Amino acid sequence: MNRFTLSRPADLAEAVRQAAADPAARFIAGGTNLIDLLKYDVERPARLIDITRLPGLNTIEETAEGGVRIGALVTNTDLAYDARIETRYPVLASAIRAGASPQLRNAASTGGNLLQRTRCYYFYDTGTACNKRVPGSGCPAIGGVNRIHAILGASEHCIATHPSDMCVALAALAATVHVTGPGGARVIPFADFHRLPGDHPEIDTTLRPGEIVVAVELPPQGFASHYTYLKLRDRLSYAFALVSVAVGLEMDGNRIGQARIALGGVAHKPWRDTEAEGTLRGRVADAESFAATADRILVPALGYAHNAFKIELARRAIVRALSQAAAGTPQSQTDKRIR
């Protein structure tokens, strides 16, 4: 871990000013990922800007539009067990509970969860090359150990995945991310917040220099009756997803209205295919339509030496998740089994 300056700005404006003034600064809240990255020498910030004491960022409030606004400092635990979230956006509560451990969720913040970085082995190991860590150094994962890597949207420079569970649910819910920065405040649709690696895998999000996440807003529609978060992994808890699926459905009898499907563990960002989702509209909720949608989502999928199985796993996981959601029998995150 390198030496750094720790500052504790009194308000948001000061925090943004400090960040804008120092490109080597990082915001720190729960630190559940950033501290790891510091210990591994992956991140070597000259300044840490402790935002945990900033006022006004740790509340969950209902919005005038009928949605819910979640402050960036709300912990994952507070969010997952908030009655409004549990009732109106159970897919979000479920996804958060599927991730990490109670101790980590107690510390991790909403904004930080959006900004956590990939779990690619090579990214964490400074003894190896990595385009995300050192641009231009190469991607040994492509010809190396890539069991946990991306099958969608990868580039020749990076096949890392985004590790968040919470973000998969937020993608399905079409949340928006409220940020502020030197250029003022703006709102980023969730689908545009994370980016694909392309030629710049070192950049995870569309945040501009000095910008900070202040809140995540959920639109009114929460898919509370027909949803699931299905997470498949190498052990039943405390592991990152091989494939995860967040589903929200509007049902009209046995026919599907609006459908949302987001995938985790398969790409550099939570993966959504709105066209494929659209094909479910008006269809009968049955195995055939689920399979057709899964196939369509996975058309661009590409596997490497160890992760090709994820394509078939994702296909089956989408079908299962759609079945769970349609039937109103979501996956439990406390049962010691997959339903």
| Residues forming the site for another protein (CB under 8 A) | 1-3, 39-41, 119, 121-122, 124-125, 127-128, 140, 143-145, 147-148, 232, 234-240, 242, 309, 312-313, 316-317, 320, 336-339
Instruction: Work out how close the CB of 242 gets to another protein at its nearest, in angstroms, rounded to a whole number.
Output: 7
39 vs 53, beta carbon nearer another protein: 39
* DSSP-assigned beta bridge partners for residue 213: 179
84 vs 316, beta carbon nearer another protein: 316
What does R_g of the chain's alpha carbons equal in angstroms? 19
70 vs 159, beta carbon nearer another protein: 159
Instruction: Work out how close the CB of 232 gets to another protein at its nearest, in angstroms, rounded to a whole number.
Output: 6
- The answer to whether the CB of 174 falls within 8 A of the CB of 191 is yes
Give the DSSP letter string of 129-181: --TTTSTTS--TTTTS--TT--SSS-BTTB------SHHHHHHHTT-EEEEEE
3-state secondary structure (DSSP) of residue 297? helix
Cα gap 181→209, rounded to integer Å: 8
Instruction: Work out how close the CB of 294 gets to another protein at its nearest, in angstroms, rounded to a whole number.
Output: 12
3-state secondary structure (DSSP) of residue 122? helix
- The answer to whether the CB of 4 falls within 8 A of the CB of 46 is yes
144 vs 198, beta carbon nearer another protein: 144
Instruction: Work out how close the CB of 50 gets to another protein at its nearest, in angstroms, rounded to a whole number.
Output: 18
Instruction: Work out how close the CB of 312 gets to another protein at its nearest, in angstroms, rounded to a whole number.
Output: 5
Which helix (H) or strand (E) segment is 21 a member of?
helix 12-21
3-state secondary structure (DSSP) of residue 132? coil
219 vs 303, beta carbon nearer another protein: 303
